[in-house]
Amino acid sequence: MNKPSQSYTIWFSQRTGSTLLGEALSSTGVAGKPGEWLHFQHKSPETLQHADLEQIWELGTTPNGVFGIKINFEQRWIDAIRKLHQLPSETPRAEVWSTGFPNCTKHIYMTRRNKVRLAVSWWRAIVSGEWHRQHGAQAEEKDIADQYHFDAIKHLLVESSMCEAAIEDFLSESGIVPLTIVYEDFVQNYEGTVRKVLEYLDVSSADVTVSPPAFDPIADEISEQWVQRFREDCQKGWENTRW
């Protein structure tokens, strides 16, 4: 496998639309095939080998040499690549990452404005087991109305915020200005967002067809009930209610 001529990374926290974007970009045939390759193909950073990276390049690269990967930030993978390539400890993390994924000059950061809705979506996925719903598929019949859990949702709210803080720290330390995609805007302008990414990647999209969304929204009345309940529970006793 030859090294990709261009690599890019989608950095994300849970429930920000990264899988939806990844499927859309893969469908174009010219923007790499961004998947969670490190998690799906090689689950142990401690045993990462050059052959593993070469396999990942092959899986994530389209015929034009563009490679894509998406990852929920974990420092251990950067440490594994540093060790594999015997890079000095002072080598900037972005340089380490680009050693593992050649010519990684483009970075996409996916976020969501309403972190409470993010955390509720995450918890709903955990208790229901439904992380994505294929376009046109019937909703799964599961009674989860009584599965509201304040502490769990609060934990996921904090965890997503810490993940985003780690991503932002990684980007800032190397002066990287990513293309930021906000979930709420993405779902309102799906095709426009995908074409914006293609433009950012310097990939010609004149003759590219963007496939329809691969997934349908999952949020429902139960999701909204939990959002409002958490909003009230979290601010119980506050003199100055924010929301």
Retrieve residue 235's tokens.
């601010």
Q: 207 vs 159, which has greater pLDDT?
A: 159
- Do 222 and 144 form a contact (C-beta atoms < 8 A)? yes
Report percent pLDDT > 90 for the chain.
Answer: 92
pLDDT for res 189 = 98
Retrieve residue 55's tokens.
């396999």
Q: Is the pLDDT of residue 83 over 80?
A: yes
**Mean pLDDT, the chain, as a whole number?**
95
Q: How far is CA 162 from CA 12, 151, 215, in A?
A: 12, 16, 27
State pTM to two decimals: 0.95
pLDDT tens per residue across span 212-232: 999 999 999 999 999 999 999
Residue-range domains of the chain with CATH: 6-234 (3.40.50.300)
Q: With the CA atoms of 183, 73, 108 and 157 taken in that order, what torsion angle do they form, in degrees rounded to the nearest 10? A: 20
Residue 42 pLDDT level (bands cut at 50, 70, 90)? low
Residue 43 pLDDT level (bands cut at 50, 70, 90)? confident
